[in-house]
Structure 1
Amino acid sequence: MKISIMGALAALLVSGSALAADYSIKLGWVTPDSEVDPYAIGANAFKRLVEERSEGRIEVITYPNRQLGDERQLLEGLRFGTVDAGVIVNAVVSQLEPAFQINDLPFLYGTEEQAYAVLDGHPGEMLAEKLDAKGVVVLGYMEGGYRSMVNNIRPVDTPDDVTGVKYRVMQNPVYIDMFSMLGGNAIPMEWGETFMAVQQGTIDGLEMPVALADAAKYYEVADYLSLTNHTYSVANLLMSKRSFERLPEELQQIVREAAIAAVAEQRIRQQEVEAETVKELEAKGMQVNQITDVAPFREAVRPIYEKYRDAIGSELMDEVFAIIQ
């Protein structure tokens, strides 16, 4: 009996080692691992597709909810190879490569299809080349959803409604300028500090994708959600160039193809979730409104476009404008 048990254990160990992946990718993001969180949807789709298509040769290990640090720390880790991969908001990536500020320009993309035409086309390739030169590989441009305003002071329907309200913004000059031009008080703050700041009244609100308002439970601390759709939020699926180049060429190709499929899947699901989430947030007590006229907002922030032309690059900006007009 003892021999039989020992033999079974040995067989199990051999079987387990045979099933072990040849390579692993540690993938981090800062929001919850939720079925309605756009980052989590994309990260988990990428994990599933990479593992399936590599037939288990690659294991993707997920680290949600800031387990690998805030987004600036994630991006720095990607550059130096201490983090393998991440889903990182565009506003943080643009701090490393200013050309990415094109995606943060307020009221730029009128529809998701315009954003896809830019990101999946030549402008997206140009952005990827610029980031590659800094040690980070762009695997795809996922969708965070349009960003909207959440606050405890008043609904937003005109630029005047933003005046005097203290909004948390990402530590990004485009966002700071946008809210300043609209008359608000822009307060740069790390994501991990924001919920308590709203809860305690240190700030009046913030701006973010609708799905994240639900996933991060902002309905518990904020009264108003205004669907301003001021910025199309790109969730960049990125990988450390060092980590990527450690993979054999055939696995590099599998990772790229899995990323393309994950992006397509994530975008579809993100839009479904966003429509569902608006109804859920209303049911949870938030007052939701859609702005009735976007023109005054666009006029108020118009100077931003030329202010950032040099940083973004005229060639890239003109090509994007040609696509979306």
Structure 2
Amino acid sequence: MTLTSVMRAALLSSVVFTVGTGAAAAAEWRGWNIHPEGYPNSDALEQFAQEVTEKTDGRVEATVYHNAVLGAQPDAIEQTRNGALDFANFNMGPMGPIVPATNVLSLPFLFDDLEHMHTVMDGEIGQLFADALEEKGLVALSWFDSGARSFYNTERPIRTPADMKGLKVRVMNNDLYVDMVDALGGNATPMAYGEVYQSLKTGVIDGAENNYPSFDTSNHYEVVPYYSVTQHLIIPECLCIAKASWQALSEQDREIVREAAIRAAETQRELWADSSAASRERVEEAGVEVNKVKDKSAFQEAMTPVYDDFIDAHPELESLVSAIRGTK
């Protein structure tokens, strides 16, 4: 059995093959988006909706609803699976309860950088994830960026794992991220996002981790002098179509929708890169010292116990993890 077939079997065996059914809107498509208008993802989705509407000559009329007005992400995922919504932009982080294999994408230091993630998700491995999602009622046509999270703190630049020793670092409430910081010698501190600024300012915590735009717009740069580009967490997002809505399309319209989704991903990635560059420029102008970790091998080696625990819990996904890390 080939590696691809092994991984495919692992992915598909990690889901329950029960796809919700429901009425699919064959002509008037409603699209879900968590972000506000003007956000890179929002602009890309608007482009997608406009292109689909124009190129199908109105056979599909697609409209995007921003700011999660159609429900929170878990609800929107279920609505898209059962055909109550027709398309959406979903982050893979919360997808684990539905497609457990996508938990692989939350492993720290899985991808070397954004380009590595693009190579993986745009290729054969990304198609394996798409196949697994389709078994659960979601047709993933392209992959968006959600940024690359890096460490920032009040004490010193992070250049090697040793620089993390003893730092109290805020993380999202996820055991993988707690274990990540602990494995690097830091003290992981799960905390609500809204509490981070004051906690950094008063010394309750020494640091946190996030992407450039969030570091900028949260104003954390005002109280943190060091931002270290570790890019330890890079979680892709999908532009997904409800399976029922997809199956209702003609072959001609499927091709139109697929091509529009790919172009939307290209636009989103460009806009996200521009936004990240602008945020980096703003925080550097404000006096933040930025350093890039060019060789992540020591950090990746430090993740061995984290990966061992993950594989112990999900042995069927070991070949998938190895294939992603081995893709260049």
TM-score between the two structures when normalised by the length of structure 2: 0.75
Code of the aligned partner of 2:323: E
Tell me what 1:197 maps to: 195
Which of the numbers 219, 225, 229 marks the counterpart of 2:227?
225
1:60 and 2:58 correspond? no
Other structure's SS at 1:145 match: coil
Which of the numbers 319, 323, 327 marks the counterpart of 1:319?
323
Mapped contact 1:95–1:172 kept (Cα < 8 A) = no
Tell me what 1:11 maps to: none
Mapped contact 2:143–2:238 kept (Cα < 8 A) = yes
Which of the numbers 112, 116, 119 marks the counterpart of 2:118?
116
Instruction: Write out per-residue CA displacement over residues 246-279 of structure 1, whole angstroms, 9 at most, x where no aligned residue.
Output: 5555433322221011112322333343233211
Distance 1:22 1:80, change over 3 A: closer
Shift of 1:127: 0.8
Instruction: Write out per-residue CA displacement over residues 63-116 of structure 1, whole angstroms, 9 at most, x where no aligned residue.
Output: 13x434443343343334444433222222234322223333322322444323
Which structure 2 residues correspond to residues 61-140 of structure 1 after superposition, within 5 A?
Answer: 61-64=64-67, 66-140=68-142
Number of residues paired by the alignment? 295
Distance in 1 between residues matched to 2:37 and 2:218, nearest whole Å: 10
Distance in 2 between residues matched to 1:283 and 1:153, nearest whole Å: 19
Distance in 2 between residues matched to 1:187 and 1:71, nearest whole Å: 25
Mapped contact 1:26–1:84 kept (Cα < 8 A) = yes
Mapped contact 2:110–2:324 kept (Cα < 8 A) = no
Shift of 1:225: 2.6
Q: Considering only CA atoms, is the larger Rg found in Structure 1 or Structure 2?
A: 1
Tell me what 1:298 maps to: 300
What is the aligned-residue identity percentage?
31
Which residues of structure 1 form unaligned runs of 5+? 1-20
Distance in 2 between residues matched to 1:279 and 1:70, nearest whole Å: 32
Shift of 1:303: 2.5
Other structure's SS at 1:308 match: helix
Other structure's SS at 1:107 match: coil
Shift of 1:142: 1.1
Distance in 2 between residues matched to 1:258 and 1:280, nearest whole Å: 33
Distance in 1 between residues matched to 2:28 and 2:257, nearest whole Å: 12
Distance 1:76 1:250, change over 3 A: same
TM-score between the two structures when normalised by the length of structure 1: 0.75
Other structure's SS at 2:103 match: helix
Other structure's SS at 1:96 match: coil
Code of the aligned partner of 2:37: D
Mapped contact 1:91–1:101 kept (Cα < 8 A) = yes
